[in-house]
Amino acid sequence: MDKSRKYITLIEIGKKQTYIFSSNRLAENVGASIIIRKATEDDPEKFYRQYSPDVIYEGGGNALYVFRSKADGIEFAKAYSRYVMEEYPGLVLYLVGCELTDDMTVKEGTAECHRLLEQKKNEAQHMVHMIDFGSTRRCSETNLPSVPCDERILPDDRRGKPISAESVRKYKYSFEHKSYFKELLPEDYDFPSKLGELGQTEDESSYIAVVHIDGNRMSNKIASFNNKMKRQEGETGEEFDARYIQGLRELSSEIDQKYKEAFRELIGMIIKNMDKLKETLDLSGNCLPIRPLIMAGDDICFVTEGRIGVECARIFLENIQKKQVQGIPLNACGGAAIVKTHFPFSRAYDLAEALCRNAKNSISAEEDASYLDWHIEQGELKDNLQKIRSQYRAADGAILTYKPYRIIDIMEKDSFLHFKDAFHILTNSEIPRSKILGMREAAYRGKTATEYYLKSNQIDDELERTNWKRGESGFEEVNGKMKYLFFDAMEMLDMYVELE
């Protein structure tokens, strides 16, 4: 069929994080994640199979197809979008299409679809939706209109209470599709179905860690692919389109597989340390202290027991660094929000995202590297990350945190190895916990006050015994700024379990 008749359809699920993290119930979070996967991996095929389009990629909330005609693409869009709106209340669906002209390639049409998608998303920001007419019972948790449902799919404490259609669907898919994410697990192991099953110890540590991982400069990698993909001399438009579709399909698939491999390797490390973890965490059977929530290419989110969140993020980033896609090394950054188990999940994820963005800000223009940032929130989060970090200042202007840390296996100034070094110094020394707390209070007063505190309490002698070489007080100059290395380790004394 003539090239001008080709029609490109681009699908994206919008506001994925809001949809997944609107509840503090893990079953709803998992159900929402399953719905997003089904909506872009399983469901489209039901409606496009009769048209046999070229599938460039599907999954993780995104899909891209090349139909043989505009009519085929439009009919697919009508049937598919109606199904999504009816089956998945609350899910935001964006769908755009572009018909190729005589002189357009699939590559150019794909770029046009992405432009149309951004335009549609900007327009959607100003849209208003009527929820109901004000006469319905409201869901006790989402405040959306309630609907009747089969209560067998609900947890005991949700039965008999008004519940929204969105929550019902999430519970339904969590209940009926328990095998999702099983491909990431070895046999005989399970992911927890409730946040309380991650291994928190009552009266000791009731924290979870929400970890967000995002690949570095992935748009640049796609742009690099597009720049290399040139029409060759003597190559027809049809031949170039076929080569471009195959190349983009392979690139998307390879990125997705590499990130899943990195997660499987993380699971392997956790299983290797299960005996050690069971000594510290409250784990039962072969239920792991981690649960994946988003596995969408280079966009990853998982939740863990609070004390292993930073270590799991570090291991994942180390794993992804060892991988390449089409000869290009992969790097990513991560943010770990360590919060109380009942802290609002959506706010915890927002914090993890902000930490990840802050980690990315550490990357220089000349290099690509992996960085990790984290924050422990003890109560209600009242300020944004910038204001929180402004409080990590000593009276003499020294910065009391090294975060974000670079994930690298050599002792550079900002290396995560420095955090581990300081952590080991404090945990392997004979310095009483009360004096470590005193060190922390002295650090707020500055370098001179800290040096006086160490000497007057004979802590400097203990640091010397542990072969501490990084300055008498732990203060040192980094890129023209005075920083204090021990503070991050002090904060993590009860919140960091090392995996080996």
DSSP string across 353-416? HHHHHHHHTT--TT----EEEEEE--S---S-HHHHHHTSB-TTS-B---PSEE--SS--TTBH
CA dist., res. 369 & res. 406, Å (int): 7
CA dist., res. 441 & res. 97, Å (int): 60
Q: Over the Cα atoms of the chain, what is R_g?
A: 26
Q: Are 345 and 357 in contact (CB under 8 A)?
A: no
Tell me the angle at which helices 165-176 and 26-41 cross, rounded to the nearest 10 degrees.
80
Is 192 strand, coil or helix?
coil
Closest to 420 measured CA to CA, from 331, 316, 492, 318: 492
CA dist., res. 292 & res. 196, Å (int): 15
Cβ count within 10 A of residue 275: 8
- Per-residue pLDDT of the chain (500 residues), as tens digits, is 444 579 999 999 999 988 998 888 888 999 999 999 999 999 999 999 999 999 999 988 999 999 999 999 999 999 999 999 999 999 999 999 999 988 889 999 999 999 999 999 888 776 666 566 665 788 877 777 788 888 888 877 788 888 888 999 999 998 888 778 888 988 889 998 888 889 888 766 689 999 999 998 888 888 888 888 888 888 888 888 889 889 888 988 999 999 999 999 999 999 999 999 999 998 888 899 999 999 888 999 999 999 999 999 999 999 999 998 888 889 999 999 999 988 888 899 999 999 999 999 988 887 889 999 999 988 777 678 888 888 899 999 999 999 999 998 877 778 899 899 889 888 888 889 999 999 999 999 999 999 899 889 888 777 765 555 555 578 888 778 888 889 999 999 999 999 98
324 Cβ contact list (under 8 Å, min separation 6): 330
CA dist., res. 500 & res. 298, Å (int): 25
How far, in whole angstroms, is CA 402 from its chain's centroid? 22
Cβ count within 10 A of residue 83: 15
pTM for this structure? 0.89
